[in-house]
Structure 1
Amino acid sequence: MSKAARPAYRCGECGWTTAKWVGRCGECQAWGTVEEAGARQGVHVVKPGAVSAPAVPIGQVAAETAHARPTGVGELDRVLGGGLVPGAVVLLAGEPGIGKSTLLLEAAARTARHDTVLYVTGEESASQVRMRADRIGAIEDQLYLAAETDLAALVAHVEKVQPRLLIVDSVQTIGSADATGVPGGVTQVREVAGNLVRLAKERGMSTVLVGHVTKDGTIAGPRVLEHLVDVVLQFEGDRNSRLRMVRAAKNRFGPIEEVGCFDLHERGITGISDPSGLFVSRHPEPVPGTCVTVTIEGTRPIPAELQALVGPTEAPQPRRTSSGLDSYRVAMVLAVMERRLNAKIGKCDVFTATVGGIRLTDPAVDLALMLSVVSAAGDKALPSGMIVLGEVGLAGELRAVRDVRRRLAEASRLGFTRALVPAGSLENDTPRLESPKSRGGLVAVREPASRTTSFAPGFDVTEVENVWDALAHVR
C-alpha cells in the first residue's frame, strides 16, 4: 500500500490526524476520540444537488416561526429567553440525581396542557416515571411516555405521536445501529444527536436532550453535543440543599448567563421568582469576615454574602481554600493584598466561601472578597447595612463595573443603607491611583480621597479610587 493510500485516523474533537491509532489525541489530549477516517484522499469536486428551499432575500423570510412558546415554568422560561423556540434543540446538563428529570417532567406536563409532548426515557422504566408524575402532579392527557433505548424506535414514536415537544432523558442511553461503539460513546452520541437535531429542524419540533456531566466536568463525555445544539443549560446545586439553579451557557435565541432559581422538594420543583434573600445570612450583629455584594446573573441583580476565615498556621504551605468562588481570582486578590496593602497573611490559612451555594464569577465581587479577608484577619466587623462593589486591578486600582445603578437599586430595596463603589461608577470619572506608604500593622492605611452622594432616600453611595481608600472607609 502506498503512503498516499495509508489509512488515517482523525480526532472527533479537534480534527487532528495521525497515521496510526492512538488512545489519546495528540492535539487536544482527549481520550477515546481518535477513529479511523479511511484512506487519505485529495479534495474532490462536489456536484450541485437538489436544494430543500430556494434562497430568498432576508427581508422576505418569515420570522414568526422563531418566536418562543412559554413552557409554563417561569424560571425556566426566563433562562430560555421566553420559552422554547420551534425547531430548537436544548441540552440540559447536570450531575446525576440533581433534579433534571423532575424539572423536565414538570415542564412537559405544563406544556401538554396546550400541545402534544413526547417524553422518552432511556434510564428509567415507564412505571418509575409514572410514579414521579403522580408525586408531582404531572398527569396530562397530551403527555405521552415511552421507554426506549434505540434511536430507530424513538423516531417511530415521533412519527406516531407527532409531538410539538420531544424530551429525551438521556442522550447517553440512546443507541443507533448505524454507528459503532456502545451507547454513551463519542461516536454514538454524535450519531444520535445529529439525527435528533435533523428531525427537530425538519418538523419544527422543540427538543430537549438531557446530558450527564462526567467527573472531569464535560457534558456527555467530550464536547460533542454543545456544538450541535442551539441552547446549553447547566443545572447546578448542592445535594445537601434544596436550592437548584439553571444557567444558560449558550443560547442562540436569548441572553446567556441568565439564571433561574428553583426549590426542589418532595412534591416537585418550584421556581423562586425573588431569590434576593437566599444568598445573604441574617446576623443579629455584624460578624468579622463577612461582606455583602450584589452580582449580576444575566439580567437579574442578586445580593450575595462572602465569608472569610483567616488563621495562623505552622504548615510550610498555608492553605488557600475557596467554595463558590474562582480559586484563581481569589489567589490574585490575596496577592494584591500582600503586595499593595502590606497584608500579613503569607503564613496564614485563608478560607473563603459564599452563602447559599451560589457560584460567583463576576469581577465586581473582588473588593468584597478583599474586605472580608481583611475583616477576618483583623477580627473586626465591617459596618452594618453596607454593600461593596468593585473589580480590583493588579496595581491596586478599582475598576468600574457594569449595571451599578441596578445593583444599588436592588440593595436599597432590600434595606441596605450604604454602598462602596469604584470612582466613576455613577459618572464617567477617571480614577486616579496613588500608592500610600506603609504604616505597619496588618495593612497600610491613608486618608481616603472619596466622594459620598445620595443615591436614594436613606441610601448613601461612597465612590473610592483604589483599595487603600476603600480600606480607610471601613476602618
Structure 2
Amino acid sequence: MAKAKTKISYVCSECGTDYPRWQGNCGACKAWNTIVEFKEAKVATQRTAQTSAGYSVQDTEIEKLSEVSDQQLHRYKTGSSEFDRVLGEGIVHGSVVLLSGSPGAGKSTLLIDVLSRLSQIAPALYVSGEESKNQIKDRGDRLKLDLSKIDIMTTGDIERICQVALDRGHKFLVIDSIQTMFLTGIDSSPGNVTQVKESAAYLNRASKEHGITTIIIVHETKDGSISGPQTLSHIGDATLRIARESDSKYRTIRADKNRFGSAEEIGTLAMMADGLKDVTNPSAIFLEHGSVEASGNIAYASAEGRRTLLVNLQSLVDVSNGEIPQRGVVGVDYKRLSMLLAVMRKRMSVSIGDNDIYINVVGGLKLNETGTDVPMLLAMLSSFRDKILSSKTLAFGEVGLSGEVRPVPMGQERIKEAIRNGFEIVIVPKKNYHKSLETQGVKLIPISQVSELENVFDLAT
C-alpha cells in the first residue's frame, strides 16, 4: 500500500492559525516567530461495526433534524464528586477529556484514583510516556488503590496504543501525557506541534468510533494555558484545569470548555496522604485564609455554577507618595475598579482616586462576576475611613453608573450559604431580599442605592 502524501502547511503554535507559507508574524494573535512547519499526513482509520461506538460516530445518512432519535448520554461516576461536578455529573461514554495543570498539581494522582474506580465497571488502560510502570504502581499502592483491573503501557506510539485498546476491549483510557505521544508516519519528534495535533486527533477518532472514554493529560504553559497548538483544545469534549491554591494542600478544578455541562462549575480537592480527596464545604477553606479582623476586610458570596463559594475580599487605601497613584488588583477586574471609583466620586461624594488603592481576593481565586461591586465599595470605604466591619459581615450586589444597586443571580442561594456559614449581617440588593430569608440572629440589610452604604457601617461594625 502506497504511503499517503504528506501535506505541508504552517501553523502558529500559540493560536493554531494555519498559513499556506511561513511568515514572521501571526496575523491572528500578533505573536512573532511562532509559526512552524506542520506536516499533516492522511491517516487511514479502520471502519468497524458501531455496536460499541461513542456518542459521535460517523453517520453520512441525511435525515430531518427534528426526526433524529433522542440519544441519552451515558455517564460514568468517577468516584470523585468534585470531579464529576465539573464534568457535568459524570464522564460521558466515548468522550475525550483534556486535563492540564502545573507540575505537581496532582493530575496523575487524580487520574490513577479515577481509573481505579472506573476499572471496576469495564477494562481500563493507563498509558504513560513520562513515568515507569514501577513509579505508577508505587503511587497506586501508596494511595491504597485496587490496581488489579488496570492494564498499563509505557509507550508513546499512538497507533499501537489504540490497537491494543481495541484488541483487549478497553473502555477507559488515560494518556499521560499527549506531549510524549507520536505517530510513526510523521517525521518529527514527540512534543512537536504536528505530533501533538495529529496524535490527539487520532485518539479522538478512535474514542468516538469505538466508544473508548479517554482522558488526556496536557502540559501547561507559564501563563496557565494548555501547551501545544490551539486546535488541541477544540479536539477535546471538555478541557479542565487543576490548579494549586495559595495553600499547597488544596486544589481547584475548573472547566475552560465542556460540551456536556456547564463551564462555570468549580471543584475543590485536598491533597492528603492517601490522595486527592473531595472538599464538601470549600467556603470554610477560603474564609479561614482571611479571618483577621481589620479595616478593608469583608466577605463575599460568589456563585460558581450551581455552587455558592464564600471568599474574603480585602482593600487597602493609603496616601500616595508618588505623582501617579498606584493601583493593584488581584482576583477582580481592574476596569471594574476604575468604574467604581467614578461612581463613588459622583454618586457618594467620596473621592479617593488620589490615593494608592489595592484590592485582593484572598486565596488566589479569580472573580469575574459583577456581584463583587458592593463588597469592593465597602472594603474601600472601610479602609479609607479606617472603620472595621464585623468579621460576620457579608455583602454582594452589582452597581450601575447611576449609583443603583442591582440584583444578582442566585441571590437566595448566596444568602442561605452565608447563614449556613455563620454570618450574622448580610448586605444584599433590595430586589434579592425577601422576608422569608430572615433568620433569628441574622440581620439582612437590603440596599437600592450606593449612597446607603455609608449607613451600613453603623449597623455592621
What CA distance in whole angstroms lies between the structure 2 residues aligned with 1:326 and 1:241? 25
Matches within 5 A, 1:65-76: 66-76=73-83
Cα 1:339–1:34 change in 2 (3 A) is: farther
Is contact 1:419-1:460 (8 Å) kept?
A: yes
Which amino acid letter does the alignment assign opposite residue 421 of structure 2?
A: L
Measure how far apart 1:404 and its partner are. 0.4
Quickly say closer, same or farther: Cα 1:338–1:171, change in 2 above 3 A.
Answer: farther
Deviates more, 1:281-290 or 1:417-426: 281-290
Higher relative contact order (CA 8 A, sep 6+): 2
Structure 1 residue 33: Cα displacement: 3.6
Q: Is the 8 A contact 2:179 2:196 kept in 1?
A: yes
- Deviation at 1:29? 2.3
Q: Provide the rounded CA distance (Å) in 2 between the counterparts of 1:196 and 1:284.
A: 47
TM, length-normalised to structure 2: 0.85
- The CA deviation at 1:352 is 2.1
Match of 1:32 among 19, 31, 34: 34
Between the aligned partners of 2:405 and 2:365, the Cα distance in structure 1 is 24
Q: What residue ranges of structure 1 are gaps of 5+ in the alignment? A: 1-6, 39-50, 428-452
**Which of 416, 437, 442 pairs up with 1:455?**
437
Q: Which amino acid aligns with 1:219?
A: I
Query: Is 29-38 or 168-177 further displaced after alignment?
Result: 29-38
Partner residue in 1 for 2:131: 124
* Contact preservation (8 Å) 1:184, 1:220: no
C-alpha distance in 1 between matches for 2:247 and 2:128: 26
Separation in 2 of the partners of 1:135 and 1:36?
Answer: 42
Note closer, same or farther for the CA distance 1:358–1:202 as it changes in structure 2 (3 Å cut): same
Q: Which of 212, 215, 220 pairs up with 1:213?
A: 220
1:474 to 2:442 alignment: no
Partner Cα separation in structure 2 for residue 326 and residue 180 of structure 1: 45
In structure 2, relative to structure 1, the CA distance for the partners of 1:9 and 1:285 (3 Å cut) is closer
CA distance in 2, matches of 1:52, 1:418: 58
Distance 2:429 2:290 in 1: 27
Structure 1 residue 265: Cα displacement: 2.4
Q: Which amino acid aligns with 2:117?
A: R
Say how many residue pairs are matched: 430
CA distance in 1, matches of 2:353, 2:454: 19
Indicate yes or no: 2:69 matched with 1:61. Answer: yes
Q: 2:447 aligns to what?
A: 464
Determine helix, strand or coil for the equivalent of 1:424: helix
> Aligned pair in 2 of structure 1 residues 469, 222: CA closer, same or farther (>3 Å)?
farther
More moved, 408-417 vs 287-296: 408-417
Shift in Å at residue 92 of structure 1?
Answer: 1.0
- Tell which deviates more after alignment, 148-157 or 100-109: 148-157
In the alignment, structure 2 segments of 5+ residues that lack a partner are 1-6, 41-57
- Shift of the alpha carbon at 1:407? 0.8
Q: Kindly indicate whether the alpha-carbon contact (under 8 Å) linking 2:101 and 2:224 is maintained by their aligned counterparts in 1.
A: no
CA distance in 2, matches of 1:142, 1:253: 28
Aligned-partner SS, 2:288: coil
Give the fraction of aligned pairs with identical amino acids, expressed as a percent.
Answer: 34
Q: Is the 2:291–2:391 contact (alpha carbons within 8 Å) kept by the matching residues of 1?
A: no
**Following the alignment from structure 1 to structure 2, what is the Cα–Cα distance between the partners of residues 94 and 193?**
18
Match of 1:80 among 67, 83, 87: 87
- Residue 97 of structure 1 aligns to a residue in which SS? coil
Specify the SS of the correspondent of 2:91: coil
Q: Residues 94 and 418 of structure 1: is their aligned pair in 2 closer, same or farther, counting only changes over 3 Å?
A: same
Q: Deviations over 1:220-276 (max 9, x none)?
A: 234222111111112122364211111122211122211111001232110011222
Q: Distance in 1 between matches of 2:407 and 2:339?
A: 18
Give the letter aligned to residue 69 of structure 2: V
- Which of the numbers 165, 169, 174 marks the counterpart of 1:162? 169
Secondary structure, aligned partner of 1:473: helix
Against the structure 1 CA distance between its residues 417 and 239, is the aligned structure 2 distance closer, same or farther, given a 3 Å change threshold?
closer
Q: Which residue matches 1:396?
A: 403
| Match in the other structure for 2:337 | 330
TM-score (norm 1): 0.83
2:299 aligns with 292
Tell me the residue number matched to 2:379.
372
